[in-house]
Amino acid sequence: MSEEHKCHALKNVRCAVLTISDSRTEETDDSGKLIKELLEENGHLVVEYRILKDEMEDIKSAVAGLLDSDVQAIITNGGTGISKRDVTVESVSGLLDKTLDGFGDLFRMLSYEEVGSRAMMSRVFAGTTKGKIVICMPGSMDAVALGMKRLVIPELGHMVWEANR
């Protein structure tokens, strides 16, 4: 049955990439660049890219605007830890209709294999709303590589298809 469903996976998902950081610029945003590269290498389209400060209203406004656009998936990096400035979870989670708890569970499990108990401090999450997929990952290059290569790229087209049926 899963192969039957996967055959419906979209091959060219329209994506937005948001880097959430007080310190990154387009020149220094290696994690955002990696997300864009991996999406494009796998046939997806990056139609929007922005760097946002760790400000709750700015993040919420940007994501809400993208949810009303033709973007099919929003992928963020940064702001999913436990420091005072990490507000991505609080900014985005209220906009979702459904959460994909398995994404966070699998991400932390895979991360634990690489970094040990530090993985428990990651509040990565994903969900759906308005037929769109929203994925929020940490900002580190290693975390982005893990999430994109092991979870997002293999399932993104399938997730978008499922969210719209």
- Condensed to tens digits (0 to 9), the pLDDT of residues 2-34 reads 566 668 889 999 999 999 999 999 999 999 999
Do 53 and 23 meet the contact criterion of CB atoms below 8 Å apart? no
- Condensed to tens digits (0 to 9), the pLDDT of residues 34-87 reads 999 999 999 999 999 999 999 999 999 999 999 999 999 999 999 999 999 999
- Condensed to tens digits (0 to 9), the pLDDT of residues 108-142 reads 999 999 999 999 999 999 999 999 999 999 999 99
Strands 45-52 and 73-77: unpaired
Q: Where are the domains positioned within the chain?
A: 2-163
In the block, which residue shows the tokens 């400035």? Answer: 85
pTM: 0.95
Superfamily of domain 2-163: MoaB/Mog-like domain (3.40.980.10)
Residue 89: CB atoms within 10 Å:
18
